[in-house]
Amino acid sequence: MFARWKPAAINTRPLEWSRAAIGMALGTLFSVWLCAQVFGMPVALHLIGPLGASAVLLFAVSSGALAQPWSILGGYLCAGVVALLVAHVLGRTLGSACLAAGMALVLMCWLRCLHPPAGALALTLVLADPASVALDWRELGPVMLAAASLLASALAYNNLTRIRYPKGPSEVPAVLPSAAPDGNLAITAEDLKLALADMQEFFDVTPEDLEQLIHASEAHARRRSIAQVLASRR
C-alpha cells in the first residue's frame, strides 16, 4: 500500500524545469500587472492565487487537457458566473463558497473546460476582499482579463521556447506497433518512460496510465478485427 504513495519520476531535465519556472513567473507577473492597471492592485492581488496555479499548468504541463485555452477561459468564466450568482443568493459565507466551487466543477465538466484553479477562483470570488465585492458583477472583468493575459503569455512564451501550444486533438497521434504473438514488441511502462524522457516535456499523465490505455486500445482493436473477420465469412 505504501509503495503506491511513491511519487513517479519526472521525465524532464532541469533545463525544462527552468524554462517552465521562468515562464510561470513572467506570465503571472504580466497578468497581475495588467489587471492592476485596469482595476487596481487590491483586485489584482486577490486573483493571484488561482493565477499562479493556472500558470503551473499552462507553462509546466501545457500538453495536458486541463491546460488548453478553452480550459482556462471557460473554467474562469464558469467559476466567475457561478461564484457571483451564489454570493448574491446565499451570501458570502464559507458554506456558500464551497457550494460555488462544487457547482463550478459540474458546469466545467458539462462544458468540457475543466480547469482545477477555477475551483480556487470560485472560492476566492465568494470570499472576496472589499474592493472586489464593490465591483459586484463587474468582477467578471478582471477575472477574464487575467485569464486572457495569462493565456496570451503562455501562447507567446511556450511557442518561442519551442514548446508547441496549444496541443489540440487535430494533431495526428503516433502510430504504435501492435504486440507480436510472442509478446516481444509489447509496449511496457518502461518503454513509455524512455519515450517521455526523449521528448523532454511535462506530461500530466503517468507511464502506467499510458500503458493501461494502450493495452485497452489493443484489446478493442483485436475485438474489432475479429468482428470484421466473422462478418466477412457470413
The string of pLDDT tens digits covering residues 22-45 is 999 999 999 999 999 999 999 999
Residues 6+ apart with CB under 8 A from 16: 200, 201, 202
pLDDT digits (tens, 9 = 90+) for 128-139: 999 999 999 999
Q: What are the sequence ranges of the domains in the chain?
A: 13-160, 189-232
- The arithmetic mean of pLDDT across residues 205-209, rounded, is 67
pLDDT at 45: 95
pLDDT digits (tens, 9 = 90+) for 146-202: 999 999 999 999 999 988 898 755 444 444 454 444 445 566 667 777 776 776 666
Q: Does the structure show a pLDDT above 70 at 218?
A: yes
> Which residue would you say has higher pLDDT here, 229 or 178?
229
* pLDDT at site 180: 47
